[in-house]
Structure 1
Amino acid sequence: MVGETKKRSKNASTSSSTPQTPVKLIKEEVFSNAIEFEEKEESKFNRDQFKTCFTELNKLIQEVSDLKSKNTEEAKKKIVEKRIQGSLIIVKLKKLNRLDKIRLANRRELLAKEKLNVDSNRLKLQNLIYEADHLKKEINKCISFKSEDEDIKLVSMEEFLKIAPEESRTPEILEDKHALRMARLEFELQQRKEYAKQCKELEKEKEEVAEKIVALKDNLDSLLPNLQNVCKATRPIQKILNMPFEIEWEIQKIVRLLPQPLYMAYTKLLAYSEVIDNNLSVSVDGNEDEALQLENERKQGKDEKELDENEDSENEAEENDFEESDNRRKVQRRQSRIESQNQKRQKLFAHHPLSVQFQLKSKKRKETLSVTLNYLPDMSIVTVQGKFNLDNAQSVAAGDIMTPDRILSGLYEGDYGMESPSPHTSYQLQNVQLNPKDLSKLLDEKMLGKPYKWAQRLCGISVTSKLNIDESFKLCDETVPQLIRQMHKRVSARMKLYHQIQSLEIGKITISGNVRISSILQQFVSLSFAEYSVIPCTKRFIESEIVGANDLFYRAVVTRGSAKLECYIAVRDNFPIFALQLSYDNKYNAENSSHIREIEGFVNGIKCDSVDNVLSLQLQRAMTSLDIFLETESFQHQDGEFHQEKNFSCSFRGRGRSRPYQPKVVGCTTSFKHIGY
C-alpha cells in the first residue's frame, strides 16, 4: 500500500511538474467522428447481439433475485457487482439500439436511391416502347399506302398493247414498270377525254329527243279530251246498237291487272258464256287501286329481292348482337321474332286484291249460284267462295243441302277442299309454325273459301308439275265445259232433292201409281255424321266406305200400329242410301234379319236415271214394304192387328220365305209380286 501511494505521488508530482496542453476539438469534428465511428460499428453490427444481451440481462436479474433471498453481506456485495454488470449491459443495449436505427436509416436511403433508379429506367422503357409503336405505325402506313391511280380501272395489258400508240409501248417503257404505269395512265386519260366528248354529244341528242317526246306527249294529252267528247257524243248510238264500248274498255283495263291463273279462268269462262251457256255470267271484283300498286311492285321485283336479302343479313347480324347482349335485348329480340312471324303468316295468306266471280243461273228456276275465285300468290293456289240465292228457303231439314260448301264439295271424286292441292303448302305452313291439317280452318277464319282441285285446273294450275302458258290454257280449256256441266247437274239435282225433303218434312209424300199406303210418315229430320255413325244398322256402310263424313244424313220414321220403321238415309253423289231398322216385338235390321235385308236391297235398288223424285219413291217403297211385311207377318201368326189391304196372291216364296214387295200394275189396280219372279 505504501508503495502504491509512493507511485501515485510520483505520478502526481511528475504530472504536475510537466504541464500538458489540452487538445481542443470542434463540435462538427466531434459529430463527424462520432458518425464515422458509428458507421464502422454499424458495419460490425449483428442482430444476435441483442439476443445475447437480453439473455445475460435475464440471467443477472435471476441471480440478483436469488441473492436478495439470502440476505447476507456477501450477497449484498455481489448484488452491487451484479448491478454494475447489468448497467453495462443496458448501456450496451442502448448502443445496439442506436446502431440499429442508423442501419435502418442507411437502408432506407439505399432503397430510395434504388427506387429512383428503377423509376428512371421505367420511364426510359416506356419512351422506347412509345417510339417503337410510333415506328410500327409509320411502317404500316408506308406498307398500306395506296396511290390514287390504283383505284382507276385501266384497260387490260393485252388491249393496251393492241390499241396504244407506238410511242407509249416501246421496249424501254415496257421494261420499266414505272414508265409503263405512266404510259397506261396517259393512255387512259386520252381515252376518257374522248369518251367524255362523245357523252356530251349523246346528251345533246338525248335532250333533243326528250323535247320531241314532250311535244308528242302534249299532243296526246290534248287528244284525250277530244276522244272523251267523241265517246260522250256517241253514247246514244252505243245504247241503240247495244254496243257498250266504254264499259268493255273499263273491264279490259281491270282484267289486265289480274294474275295469270285468274286471267286464264276469266277469259275461258267468258268465252264459254258468250258462245255456249247464256246462263253463265263472269265479272271481276276487287280494289283496282291496290291491284295497280301490286302490279307496279311486281315490276320492281328484282330490287325488292335485293332489299330483302340485305334485310335478312341485317336481321341475322342483329340477332347475333342480341345473343351477346343483356336480358333486355333478349326480350326485344323475342318480340321482334314474334312480329316477324306474324308478318310472314299474314303475307302467306294474303290474296290478290282482284277476284273472278261467275254466276250460274238455273235454267228453269230463279236460283243463282255465285262462285268467287281468289288467288293466294305465296301459296300459288286458288280458293273458292260460294253463295247460293234461294227463294222461300223455309225448310229446316233441307237447309244444309243448298249451302255453297255442300254444292261445290265433291264435284269430283274425293275433292272436298279440306287439304291443299299443292305439296308445297304443308312446308310453307310448317315454316311459320302452323299445322298443315288446320289449313281449311285458317282459310275459313280469313273468309277465303276452300282450295278445291277443280279450281286449280280451272285456273290452269297443275298440282304435279309446272306448266308453261300454252299447257295452262289447254288444261283450262279442258276443265271449263266439264265443270260448268257438272255444276248445272249438281244444282239441278240438289234443287230436286231440296223440294222432296221440304215436302217430306211436313209429312207430304208423292205417291206414284194406284197404291194405298197404310203406314204413316211420322218424322223426317236431318242428322249429323256423329249421330248417324252410332246407329248399329249403319256401321256396315261406314266400314265399307259407301258413305262418309261429307255426305248428307237424314232420319225418317214410318209407323203403323205398334210397328215402327226407322230409315237412316245417307245422300251421296245425289243418290240416297237407306239403312233400315224395324221395331216390332224386337229390333230388326239387315244384320240380324234377312227380311229387312231384302227390303233394304229393294229400296236401294231403284233406278234413278230419269226420275226427279228418287227419295220419295224410295220412301214409298219402304212404306209399302213395311205394310206387306206386317200384313204377311200378321197373317202368319194370326194375331189380327194388321189386316191385308194389299193385293198379292202368295205371301211367301222359296226357302228364304221372301215376300211380295215388287208392285205390278194391271189396269187400274196394283198388285204385288215377289222380287225376281
Structure 2
Amino acid sequence: MHLQKEVTKCLEFKSNHEEIDLVSLEEFYKEAPPDISKAEVTMGDPHQQTLAHLDWELERRKRLVEKYQECLSNKEKILKETEVKKEYLSSLQPGLNSIMRASLPVQEYLFMPFDQAHKQYETAWHLPPPLYVQATAYGQDKRKEMLKRHPLSVMLDLRCKDDSVLHLTFYYLMNLNLMTVKAKVTTATELITPIGTGDLLSPDSVLSCLYPGDHGKKTPNPANQYQFDKVGILTLRDYILDLGHPYLWVQKLGGLHFPKEQPQHTVIADHSLSTSHTETTMKPLKTRVQSRLALHKWFASLEHGIVPVTNDCQYLFPAKVVSRLVKWVTIAHEDYTELHFTKDIVEAGLAGDTNLYYMALVERGTAKLQAAVVLNPGYSSIPPIFQLCLNWKGEKTNNNDDNIRAMESEVNVCYKELCGPRPHHQLLTNQLQRLCVLLDVYLETEGHDDSVEGPKEFPQEKMCLRLFRGSSRMKPFKYNHPQGFFSH
C-alpha cells in the first residue's frame, strides 16, 4: 500500500519545466549543437530528449541575457553621444551669430548681404501668403530683368542636300550684351527614334563643341559675372534651357568679341567680324547635322544587331564574318569612367562630359567582347575611341593581353583605312565590323586544348600566312583585301 502511494505521487508529480514555453523539437534538432542535442541518444529516449531540450533552452536564455546586456550598454553609449551632440548644437548658434557679425564688413564690400536676407526671411514668416509671394517675386523680377531678351529674334533655316533642315533662332540678351541660339533639326521623312540615339539630335547638344571647347554652357562675356552677383544668379547654365546657348561662334556671327584678360562692360558689334565668320560657320553647321542624321540611321540598325556596311566599303572585310553584334546601348559618362578597362582613356583626359558614350557587345560562341565607345561631338572628323574587354577563358584587356591591345590599335590608330568615301560617315560602323573580324581572327588562331575532347570550338576559316609572330605570339590582324588573307 505504501509503495502504491509513492508510485501514484511520482505519476502525478508536475515539474516546472512543463510550464516553460520551449521551442519545437524540429527547431531544437535544427538549431542546437550536436553536443547538446545528442540526436543518436535522445531520439529514442523521451527522458533524455527532455533533458537535452531543457539544456538548449537554458543556453538560449543565457545568450539572450548577454545580448540584452549588450543592447543596454549600446543604448547608454548612444544616449551619451546624443547628449554631447545636443550640447554642441546648443553652443553652435552663438558661434554662428558672432561669425555673421564679424563678416558684415565683408558682406557689404562684396555686395553679398547674407545677414540682411536672413532677417528678411525671418520677418517674412509673419506676413500673410499674398504679401510674402509679392516680396519674393520682387527678387525674381530683378533676375528676369537681367536676363531679358530683345523682343525681336532672327530665325535662320539651313537646308541640307537630303532636305533635312537645321532651324536656328538667335536671341540677344540686352542687359548681358550676349547672343544665344536655339536649334532644332527636322527631316523630310519622319525618323524612327532608336533608344540608343540618346542626345544625337537633342537641341541641347546637337551643336555642342562645334569648335573645340565651345560647349555653350557658360557666358563668354567676363563682365556678366559681376552682373550675376548683384541679382543672385550663380551661373548662366541654370537658365540655358529657356534662353538658348551662348556659343562663341554665335557671338562672332553677331560681331561680338570678348577679350578674356579684362572684363569690358561695353562691347560694340563689329560688322566686319560678323561677315568674316558667317560663311565659315555655315559649313560646319551643315556637316554636323548630316553627321548626326547618318549616326541616327546607323543606330537604328545597330540596336537590332545589324552592322550596316555600305557597298563602297565591302572590300575592307572578308566575305564571311561569324562574330556578331548583339547589343548597342547608350551609357552615362559616370558609368563609362567607372569601367575598369577604360581607365587609360579617362586618365588621358579623353573622356570629357561633352562626349557621347556607348557600349557594344560582340559575341561568338562562348566568347563575349565588350567595347566601350567614346563618340566625340565632332564625329567623323574626330574618330571614335574603342576600349575592349574579352570574356573567354578569363577576362582579357589591354593590361594583360598584347593581342587585345593590338585589336584596339587596329580600330583606334588605323582608323583612316576605315573612313570610307567622304564625308566619312561610315567610320563607326566600319570600326564595329572590323571589330567582329578581329574577334574571329583572335578566336580562330587560338591553340586547341588537347585535354578537351571533341571538335575545336572555333575552327579556322580565315586564311592566315602565319598564326603567330614573336615572343608575345601576336596574331595576324592585318587584312589584305585584294588577296583575302590575314598577315602581321
In 2 relative to 1, CA 529–614 (structure 1 residues): closer, same or farther, beyond 3 Å? same
* 1:636-655 equivalence runs, <5 A: 640-655=456-471
Partners of 2:335 and 2:466 lie apart in 1 by 39
The yes-or-no answer on 1:615 pairing with 2:428 is yes
In structure 2, what is the equivalent of residue 579 of structure 1? Answer: 387
In 2 relative to 1, CA 496–490 (structure 1 residues): closer, same or farther, beyond 3 Å? same
In 2 relative to 1, CA 360–606 (structure 1 residues): closer, same or farther, beyond 3 Å? same
Partners of 2:371 and 2:431 lie apart in 1 by 10
In 2 relative to 1, CA 335–519 (structure 1 residues): closer, same or farther, beyond 3 Å? closer
In structure 2, what is the equivalent of residue 515 of structure 1? Answer: 319
Q: Which moved more, 1:606-615 or 1:472-481?
A: 606-615
In 2 relative to 1, CA 335–501 (structure 1 residues): closer, same or farther, beyond 3 Å? closer
Shift of 1:524: 1.0
Partners of 2:281 and 2:463 lie apart in 1 by 48
Partners of 2:450 and 2:151 lie apart in 1 by 74
The yes-or-no answer on 1:629 pairing with 2:442 is yes
Deviations 1:521-567, CA, capped at 9 Å, x for gaps: 11111111122111111122122111211111111111111110011
Question: Which of the residues 502, 507, 513 maps onto 2:300?
Answer: 502
Deviations 1:147-190, CA, capped at 9 Å, x for gaps: xxxxxxxxxxxxxxxxxxxxxxxxxxxxxxxxxxxxxxxxxxxx
Q: What secondary structure does 1:646 align onto?
A: coil
In structure 2, what is the equivalent of residue 370 of structure 1? Answer: 167
* 1:410-449 equivalence runs, <5 A: 410-436=209-235, 439-444=236-241, 447-449=242-244
8 Å Cα contact 2:199/2:206 also seen in 1: no
Structure 1 portions without partners, runs of 5+:
1-322
Partners of 1:583 and 1:637 lie apart in 2 by 21
Partners of 1:661 and 1:432 lie apart in 2 by 62
8 Å Cα contact 2:326/2:362 also seen in 1: yes
* 1:99-248 equivalence runs, <5 A: none
Q: Which amino acid aligns with 2:278?
A: V
Question: Which of the residues 184, 202, 208 maps onto 1:387?
Answer: 184
Deviations 1:322-357, CA, capped at 9 Å, x for gaps: x9xxx89x9799988645422211101111111111
* 1:473-492 equivalence runs, <5 A: 473-492=271-290
Q: RMSD across aligned C-alpha pairs, in angstroms?
A: 2.4
8 Å Cα contact 1:557/1:564 also seen in 2: yes
8 Å Cα contact 2:323/2:440 also seen in 1: yes
Question: Which of the residues 257, 266, 284 maps onto 1:462?
Answer: 257
What percent identity do the matched residue pairs reach?
30
8 Å Cα contact 1:367/1:389 also seen in 2: yes
Partners of 2:133 and 2:339 lie apart in 1 by 52
Q: What's the TM-score, normalizing by structure 1? A: 0.48
8 Å Cα contact 1:634/1:643 also seen in 2: no
Question: Which of the residues 335, 357, 378 maps onto 1:553?
Answer: 357
8 Å Cα contact 1:373/1:383 also seen in 2: yes
The yes-or-no answer on 1:664 pairing with 2:461 is no
In 2 relative to 1, CA 654–397 (structure 1 residues): closer, same or farther, beyond 3 Å? same
Shift of 1:404: 2.6
In structure 1, what is the equivalent of residue 374 of structure 2? Answer: 570
Partners of 2:210 and 2:293 lie apart in 1 by 16
Q: What secondary structure does 1:407 align onto?
A: coil
Q: What secondary structure does 1:434 align onto?
A: coil
* 1:397-416 equivalence runs, <5 A: 397-416=196-215
8 Å Cα contact 2:171/2:180 also seen in 1: yes
In structure 2, what is the equivalent of residue 544 of structure 1? Answer: 348
Q: What secondary structure does 2:308 align onto?
A: coil
Q: What secondary structure does 2:429 align onto?
A: helix
Shift of 1:634: 3.6
Partners of 2:194 and 2:445 lie apart in 1 by 37
Q: Which amino acid aligns with 2:405?
A: R
Partners of 2:257 and 2:301 lie apart in 1 by 44
Deviations 1:557-581, CA, capped at 9 Å, x for gaps: 1111111001111111202111111
In 2 relative to 1, CA 658–502 (structure 1 residues): closer, same or farther, beyond 3 Å? same
Q: Which amino acid aligns with 1:463?
A: F
Q: Which amino acid aligns with 2:292?
A: R
Partners of 1:665 and 1:410 lie apart in 2 by 37
Q: Which moved more, 1:628-637 or 1:416-425?
A: 628-637
Partners of 2:250 and 2:482 lie apart in 1 by 52
8 Å Cα contact 1:509/1:616 also seen in 2: yes
> How many corresponding residue pairs?
339
Partners of 1:348 and 1:599 lie apart in 2 by 54
In 2 relative to 1, CA 339–395 (structure 1 residues): closer, same or farther, beyond 3 Å? closer
Q: Which amino acid aligns with 2:467?
A: S
In structure 2, what is the equivalent of residue 606 of structure 1? Answer: 415
Partners of 1:392 and 1:489 lie apart in 2 by 19
Shift of 1:442: 2.1
Partners of 2:396 and 2:146 lie apart in 1 by 55
Deviations 1:388-409, CA, capped at 9 Å, x for gaps: 1132233221242122332211
8 Å Cα contact 2:256/2:268 also seen in 1: no
8 Å Cα contact 2:177/2:267 also seen in 1: no
Q: Which amino acid aligns with 2:156?
A: F
In structure 2, what is the equivalent of residue 591 of structure 1? Answer: 399
In 2 relative to 1, CA 379–468 (structure 1 residues): closer, same or farther, beyond 3 Å? closer
